[in-house]
Amino acid sequence: MSPIYNLYGVSDDEFNQSAEDSANEFMDIAEGLFDLFGYDTAADNLRRYRSGDGGTESYSAEEMSKHPAYDDAIDHNPTMLESRTFTGITDNEDAKKALFGLEDGKTINFKDDWDRNINSFNTYNFSRPSTYFAFGRSGVRSEGDFTATRNGDNLTISGNVLNRLGDKRNETEKFDFNPGQIGSSEARILERAGTAKPFDMDYRRRQSVEAQARYEPDGTITLLKTLWGILE
């Protein structure tokens, strides 16, 4: 079959190869700049994306220490559990009903979770540039499984919290290029050529917690103290 030529007198194959070469040149420059500025995670992530392997990249606590916005989010979400969940003023209606409906001498299990967005337009929690180029707009979700026991007006809560990248809909964050983002056109070209592929980014830390609270005469719950375990 004869090659198909476009208006510029260039065959489709030649045109596609030229576009792919230009896209690779753009990515080469970006990767080189990340290396030059010491944006190690961003450079490694871009290299994995360009490998076309896909799959999942798991990050260690040591690696994520270069990106304190995430550990800051992990520190923030427990404050929401303390101030909202353990006092029964959470937006989670099931958790709220479980705590306020708990009878004396009874024990129940309940769940609650909180999200913390990073590099999103609807939050002031912006990270350093090296983190943005590595993870883009992402967030930390803290999911807690708890046991609550009532003894008179005393309430004891214990359980474990999983802190992870992602949100309510996604178990992980994905490294890709959103429409309109710098490099998105080049990324689409390389993905269509099969030389680049998005991949999942996974970071998880678990923490135990024990809390003491008190049911007040006015029907509220007051948190008395909380003991958090070491992040693992």
- pLDDT tens readout for residues 103-154: 999 999 999 999 988 865 445 455 688 998 999 888 899 999 999 999 999 9
* Amino acid of residue 164: R
Q: Which residues does 156 contact at the CB level (< 8 Å), separation at least 6? A: 148, 149, 210, 211, 212, 213
Average pLDDT over residues 198-216: 97
How would DSSP label each residue in 79-135?
A: HHIIIIITTT--S-HHHHHHHHTPPTT-EEEEEEEEEEEES-TT-S----HHHHHHH
pLDDT band at 178 (very low <50, low <70, confident <90, very high): confident
Domain ranges of the chain: 12-228
Report whether pLDDT(8) > 90: no
Please give the mean pLDDT across all residues of the chain: 89
Share of the chain above pLDDT 70, in %: 89
User: What order of strands is seen across the sheet that includes strand 107-118?
Assistant: 107-118, 138-151, 154-165, 204-215, 221-228
Please report the pLDDT score of residue 184 as a whole number.
Answer: 93
Please report the pLDDT score of residue 39 as a whole number.
Answer: 95
Average pLDDT over residues 38-57: 96
Confirm if 225 and 173 have CB atoms less than 8 A apart. no
Rounded Cα distance, 136 and 126, in Å: 10
Report whether pLDDT(13) > 70: no
Lowest model confidence (mean pLDDT) among 5-14, 60-69, 154-163, 197-206 = 5-14
Share of the chain above pLDDT 90, in %: 73
Report whether pLDDT(155) > 90: yes
| Prediction pTM value | 0.83
